[in-house]
Structure 1
Amino acid sequence: MSHGKQITLLTHARGPNGWKVAIVLAELGLTYESVYLDFQKGEHKAPGFTKYNPNGRIPAIIDHRNNDFVLWESDAIIQYLVDKYDTAHRISATGDETYHQLQWLHFQASGQGPYFGQAVWFAYLHAEKIPSAIERYSNETKRVLSVLESVLSKQEWLVGGKLTVADLSFLPWNKSVSKVLFESYDWAQDYPATAAWHNRLSNLPSVKKVYAEQAALSFE
């Protein structure tokens, strides 16, 4: 593992949680090297990775500028990055709005990520088709989108009237689920403000750059 870049990002080519960290790194202009773990070979459960994250889940970072500081859990990483490297608060909140930002990061981690992930799992990856599980997590996906819609129909961004990491944290899972679950469903019709917000985020130069990196990877 080279230390030519400031941050080493231990991640996976498909995992949305790793890509949301990459987006924040790019938005902050921090240099990073992505190390993509091979899940088929169990690299995320091997000692080479669990020495950084005992939970065996991506992502984790190593901040070489900060004495090789190691951190795992994607939203904890995002909070660390803005606390440490966004002192001008370009994409982070200030004052009491900091807690609203944290509120949304927690909702993303506890609500969007797990439910969207289970929706994809039971719809496409689980060996046995279980209609009740597919229905449950599809409905939970729509519930989370409804929560976002209830707020974004009244304001452009989630926190403080500006783009923050609260917004960016939702982007990769929305992208992933909109591609696989809503192929025959126009989610923009039921959640127009959320879809417009998603499109604004998707058109950010940093996001386009990171998604170009993802598109260049082989998923074979």
Structure 2
Amino acid sequence: MLTLHTWTTPNGRKIPIMLEELGLQYTIKTVNIGKGEQFQPEFLAISPNNKIPAIVDTDADGNSVSIFESGAILTYLAEKTGKLLPAAGPERYKVLEWLHWQIGGLGPMLGQVGFFAIRSEEKSELAIQHFIDEADRLLGVMEKQLSKHAYIAGAAYSIADIACYPWTVGILDKLKPALGDKLETKPHLQRWLNMIGARPAVQRGMALPKVD
């Protein structure tokens, strides 16, 4: 039995997409970060960094493993099933390169744009411009990569695409006021967004977790 602890954030939706792509059975326990539920002792026991997502995977004998950090979870699930991550060779490390690129660069920079340009009551124009410029640079890196390859890490759909999609598609919604037309100037990125967004498993995953 696999239990996913998550919320309605870009990181929180990576794992539902992955699970839907893999066709695994799972249950969701919502962790409402707006209410501070990520600081509850029972959640901290499986995610000591008080961040979503996290999973607990329990086998038929009752043995369980808990994993936090979205990149670690994506890698675990890919290796568990033998899907969406090559088992060895250069192709494997290309996928891992781009997975870690998203975790270390794209996600944090877009998150900073969201905070400084949109959510923060106090506006720092220097900080806003810095993070917008860096976010646009990273989107340009994606654009260049996607001008050469169908998917983020090459010819095949992988966990790198799953990691990048929830963050990048958010530009069309919450970050649009800050980033303006920076996405419209990147046709290969738009092509990729449309292709990934058309996948039924991605659509199902992006709709989870369902909250009232």
Alignment of 1:74-113 (within 5 A): 74-85=70-81, 87=82, 89=83, 91-94=84-87, 95-113=89-107
Percent of matched pairs sharing the same residue: 36
CA contact (8 A) 1:93 1:159 kept: no
Could you tell me how far apart the structure 2 residues matched to 1:114 and 1:139 are? 13
Q: Structure 2: where are the runs of 5+ without partners?
A: none
SS in 2 for 1:9: strand
Q: Are 2:136 and 1:138 aligned?
A: no
Structure 1 residue 93, shift from structure 2 partner: 2.4
Structure 1 residue 75, shift from structure 2 partner: 0.6
CA contact (8 A) 1:8 1:63 kept: yes
List structure 1 segments (4+ residues) > 6 angstroms apart after TM superposition: none
SS in 1 for 2:56: strand
Which of 180, 183, 187 does residue 185 from structure 1 map onto?
A: 180
CA contact (8 A) 1:93 1:160 kept: no
TM-score by length of 1: 0.88
TM-score by length of 2: 0.91
Could you tell me how far apart the structure 2 residues matched to 1:142 and 1:40 are? 28
Matched residue, 1:7: 2
Could you tell me how far apart the structure 2 residues matched to 1:159 and 1:213 are? 25
Task: Identify if the C-alpha distance between structure 1 residues 123 and 83 changes in structure 2 by more than 3 Å, giving closer, same or farther.
Answer: same
Alignment of 1:115-154 (within 5 A): 115-154=109-148
Structure 1 residue 160, shift from structure 2 partner: 4.0
Q: Are 2:155 and 1:161 aligned?
A: yes
Report how many residues are paired.
208
CA contact (8 A) 2:166 2:206 kept: no
Matched residue, 1:3: none
Greater relative contact order (CA < 8 Å, ≥ 6 in sequence): 2
SS in 2 for 1:93: coil
Structure 1 residue 158, shift from structure 2 partner: 2.3
Structure 1 residue 157, shift from structure 2 partner: 1.2
Structure 1 residue 178, shift from structure 2 partner: 2.5
C-alpha RMSD over aligned residues: 1.7
Structure 1 residue 211, shift from structure 2 partner: 2.6
Letter in 2 for 1:83: E
Q: Structure 1: where are the runs of 5+ without partners?
A: 1-5
